[in-house]
Amino acid sequence: MTFPRYTPLVAALPSTVPFVGPETQERERGAAFDARLGANENTFGPSPRAIDAMQAAAGDVWMYGDAQSHDLRKALAAEHGVRPEHIVVGEGIDGLLGYLVRLVVGEGDAVVTSEGAYPTFNYHVSGFGGVLHKVPYRDDREDPEALIEKAREVGAKLVYIANPDNPMGSWHSGADLLAALDRLPEGCLMIVDEAYVECAPEGTALPVQPDDPRVIRMRTFSKVYGMAGARIGYALAAPDLIRAFDKVRNHFGINRIAQAGALAALEDRDWLAHVQGEIATARDRIGQIARDNGLTPLPSATNFVAIDCGGDGALAARVVAGLIARGVFVRMPFAAPQNRCIRVSAAPAETLEFFARALPEALAEAREG
């Protein structure tokens, strides 16, 4: 007999993890990266006011965080023109996706996503015994019509779309996505992962009514707000669904320092605008570096740029390996044909110079095979 007796579901789960972190890779290569451009972190950092708030909160960390994230939810409600009852704060979008999948997905339940979309969502679905159905990208964008058609076909309980998309950086207008929702089958909830929406053109956020029961939107302080290590994000949905999270969430799970930092970050609109500008500049610079090497940058509404390396996934994987060997941490999409690309996060010019210097050699090496 084995100790302990795992559930049959768990016993059958693979031990693979969604992502290998940069620190793990640094330990494996025996050296730190010069440029950390692979996890879509915000190298421009959090608001100085958020840093101040977190430093001030450090001495208070002997207290559990507020289990209701009251002050933050109140501020977020004002920001979005909704009520606090429309908002649940969680341990990043990863944590919230885990809770949501647990609420809805039992063994054998159908879930729809795109081939090559966010692996951590898939990890949660598999982890609760759901069956993933995947539709391909269309012109390097997620395909709302195809996702919804597949959801209807398989009787999905959840359908996932990231807008803007990770890993491609592509996007749909919020109005188009809202129109597509009218074809969503009964009993299917759409997750709109808006992790990067603050980097996107006006009109990208889903202009949905807050009480609409068909959709839940995910937001985070990890990206444009520069607080990935704080593990704090939130979901916007109808109050019934938000209340359901209370049945399964880790009520005292939100770090007190993170709550203080997120509140301060939200209030610092000047820093947000500053970072948005820096990200736009960095996207242009990444695009220029790509073109200087004869490669094609894809349009991006995120804090990263997918660069078409002009070959197949094997070529792109060799480019990634060559960059990592030269101290530049990047990643690439998982599925063909998007895996012809590498994905490079926005960063200050001096950080991107490491990429600019490493890319020609990595590319030449990769082309030799």
Q: How far apart are CA 128 and CA 104, in angstroms?
A: 9
Site string for a copy of itself, 279-318 (x = CB under 8 A): ----------------------------------------
Touching a copy of itself, residues 320-349 (CB under 8 A):
none
Touching a copy of itself, residues 48-87 (CB under 8 A):
51, 54-55, 57-68, 70
Q: How far apart are CA 331 and CA 328, in angstroms?
A: 10
**Among 305, 37, 322, which Cα is nearest to 296's?**
305
Q: In the complex with a copy of itself, which residue's Cβ is closer, 95 or 169?
A: 95
Contact status: 47 vs a copy of itself (CB under 8 A): no
Contact status: 180 vs a copy of itself (CB under 8 A): no
Among 116, 169, 261, 322, binds a copy of itself (CB under 8 A): 261
Smallest distance, a copy of itself to C-beta of residue 40, A: 10
Q: In the complex with a copy of itself, which residue's Cβ is closer, 55 or 209?
A: 55
Q: Residue 217 in 3-state DSSP?
A: strand
Among 76, 87, 88, 92, binds a copy of itself (CB under 8 A): 92
Q: How far are the Cα atoms of 143, 307, 341, 345, 361 from residue 368, in angstroms, in the given order?
A: 35, 19, 18, 26, 11
Instruction: Check the CA dihedral 117-119-120-122 and report its sign.
Output: positive
Contact status: 218 vs a copy of itself (CB under 8 A): no
Smallest distance, a copy of itself to C-beta of residue 234, A: 16
Q: How far apart are CA 237 and CA 239, in angstroms?
A: 6
| Pairing label, strands 35-36, 328-329 | parallel
Q: In the complex with a copy of itself, which residue's Cβ is closer, 30 or 59?
A: 59
Q: How far apart are CA 259 and CA 57, in angstroms?
A: 9
Q: In the complex with a copy of itself, which residue's Cβ is closer, 191 or 295?
A: 191
Q: Tally Cβ neighbours within 10 Å of residue 330.
A: 25
Q: In the complex with a copy of itself, which residue's Cβ is closer, 178 or 257?
A: 257
Q: In the complex with a copy of itself, which residue's Cβ is closer, 24 or 288?
A: 24
